Each structure stands twice: as C-alpha cells, then as structure tokens.
Amino acid sequence: MTVKTALITGITGQDGSYLAELLLRNGYVVHGIVRRASTFNTHRIDHLYRDPHEPDTRLFLHYGDLTDGTRISALLEKVQPDEVYHLAGQSHVRVSFDEPEFTGDATGLGTTRLLEAIRTTGLPCRFYQASSSEMFGAAPPPQHEETRFHPRSPYGVAKVYAYWMTRNYREAYGMYAVNGILFNHESPRRGPTFVTRKVATAAARITAGLQDVVYLGNLDARRDWGYAAEYVEAMWRMLQQDDPDDYVIATGVSYSVREFVEQCFAHAGLDWRDHVRFDERYLRPTEVDNLVGDASKAERILGWRPTVTAPQLAGIMVDAEMAALRGPAVPTEEMTKFSPSVLVAQ
C-alpha cells in the first residue's frame, strides 16, 4: 500500500492537532507548518512529536507563515504532499474587527498563496479549505451548501473570499479543491478566548475558589456547537471522494450562549446567574445571531454524522478544566483517548 503524505497548515491549532492524530492513525506521513514565535506554540501536538532522527518518525514540522508566499511554495516543492489541509488563519471573529487587514492577509490571501503554489508547482495534490459558517452570517437558518452568504465580520468576509478562490481554482484549473463549511466546533483544546472554553475554564476555576465572576458579551446569539475531534474526520473524508465538492458540517441543533453557560455551570454544580457579568468589550459591531447547519449532504455522500451534543460537550470541557486544575495540566495524550463513542458514554 502506498503511504500518503499530508501537509497541514495550522497544525498547532485545535483542529490541526486532532487532524494530525487522525492522519497518523491512518498511516500517513504528516508535515505541519508552524509559525515561529518567541515561546513554544506546539503544546497541542507535543504528544505526537518524535525525534526526527528516529527511523519510524512520521510527523515533521517546518517553520512557515501564511503571509510568506515564497516559503509556502518552497515547502510544497520539498514535501510533495498528496493532500493539503489548509487550516491556518486568524480565526477569532472579534479580533478580526481590530485587525481587519491582517485577517484579510492571513485568512483570505493565505489561501490564494497556497492554491497558487500548488498550481505553479504542478503537484497533483488535493486541497482542503477550512471554510466557516461565519460566511452565512445574517442568512436565516437552517444554512446549507446553497444558502447565500452574508458575512458579518472581516473574518467572515475573508473566508468568503477564500471560499470562492478555492472554487475558482477547481473550476479554472480542474484542481481537486474542496470547501468544508464547518459550523462551530469545540473541545478542551479550543483557544482560551472563544466563548465555550472561556466559560468552561471559568466554571472550573470558580468551583476551585480561584475566581468569582466571568465577564461575557452577548448571551442571546445561537450557535450550532459540535465536537472538534469528530469534525476533522469529515475533512479527511472530503478528500477521499472521487470528485471534489463542498460540504456543510454541523449538528443541526443550536443553543444560545446563555444556554451553554447554564449547562457548563450546572455541570460544575453552580448557578450561572451568581457568577456571570456583562462587559460590552466582548460585543461585536455586527453579530451573527443564529447558526444552524443542515449537514444532510455530508451524511448522504460522506457517510458522516456527529454524535456529541452541545450539552455533552459542555460536560467534557468543564471536566477537562477541572482535571487540569487538580493535577498537572490534562495531558493532551490523555485527551486523545476520548474517542467520540467514549465521550457519549461519559
């Protein structure tokens, strides 16, 4: 059997770490692009890393930045991947209002740099673009592959641009390039400033007596929250089809931020109303009110279906935060033992 080689941009992020685990489990050689920082930013994948001098090493990391097209091209030439999973980007919606230009550069143009590098190197590789439900923005739910985009943030606008560049390269050059339009997906590895992780951390810390309140913004927004480890499986399946296409990935059920907060605090044995305060700094100039994905196409063609619900996710995330406070931080390796079916049973 031929061993496939994958290149993951954003391997140090939440999704990159789960995807790297999945691909290594599936026998791939995995290369990841890591941006240089003055502190280590590889904590989500440290448990996967082996000394590159060991003969059975299948994970390789390379420095690179999405804003550096020359480096992206050089890495593609060097790695010669069969599949490219493009997950890197400035992914925070609120921050995109503060940094619209950088967000456009990294999250929007970064995709073009990769597509153009694939085209000019002539590699016959398959390309996955991490598109987002934020592209639907103000479009009423349920949102599916044919729903018209109405993005409500510089992040959403950048993702719409990248979505169309991916489709354009598919149509113009016959490239195997797909858009995975993923609705919100969370886990204990979620970045600490996204609302689910922020709330789960606060619930655990309040229980431990380390803080008393948490400041939040809009509690009325509704999101379709799923579990990240299950969503990366859908990414992989999208690149295993005969023909390239675009797919919505979602649970089909939405909860308000208030409901998710309530679930986290109840799981920790707390009444959220005693601990949640409002701070307008967490509001966005334009908000996305209600996202509910219709993933029936993915179920029909990819055979993909989520199993973890948002209330279960709230429990998983609060438990992980409490475990991290009890001892040394929850080892990432331990988290990987949560297979989706195990999680449902917990």
Q: CA angle at residue 161 from 156 to 162, to 5 degrees?
A: 95
What residues between 31 and 50 interact with ligand NAP by CB under 6 A? 35, 37, 41
Query: What distances in angstroms separate CA 14 from CA 44, 294, 297, one per listed residue?
Result: 7, 23, 25
Round to whole Å and give the CA distance between 340 and 337: 9
In single-letter form, the type of residue at position 7 comes to L
Smallest distance, ligand F7E to C-beta of residue 27, A:
29
Q: SS3 of 45, please?
A: coil
- Active-site residue identified among 128, 155, 176, 231: 155
Tokens of 39: 């502190």
Contact between 182 and ligand NAP by CB under 6 A: the answer reads: yes
Sole residue written with tokens 């113009």: 172
Q: Encoding tokens for residue 35?
A: 């941006």
Least separation in angstroms between CB 113 and ligand NAP: 10
Contacts with ligand F7E, 52-91, as mask; x by CB under 6 A:
---------------------------------------x
Active-site entry in 134, 186, 230, 262: 134
Neighbours of 173 (CB within 10 A): 11
Annotated active-site residue 134? The verdict is yes
All residues at 6 or more sequence positions from 225 whose CB lies less than 8 Å from its CB, including other chains: 183, 184, 185, 186, 196, 251, 255, 260, 310, 313
Interface with ligand F7E includes 184 (CB under 6 A)?
yes
Residue number, 275 or 297, with CB nearest to ligand NAP: 297
Catalytic residues: 132, 134, 155
Q: Which residues bind ligand NAP (CB under 6 A)?
A: 10, 12-16, 35, 37, 41, 65-67, 87-91, 106, 130, 132, 182, 184-185, 191
* Site for ligand F7E, rule CB under 6 A: 91, 93-94, 132-134, 183-184, 193-195, 198, 216-218, 221, 223, 257, 282, 284, 287
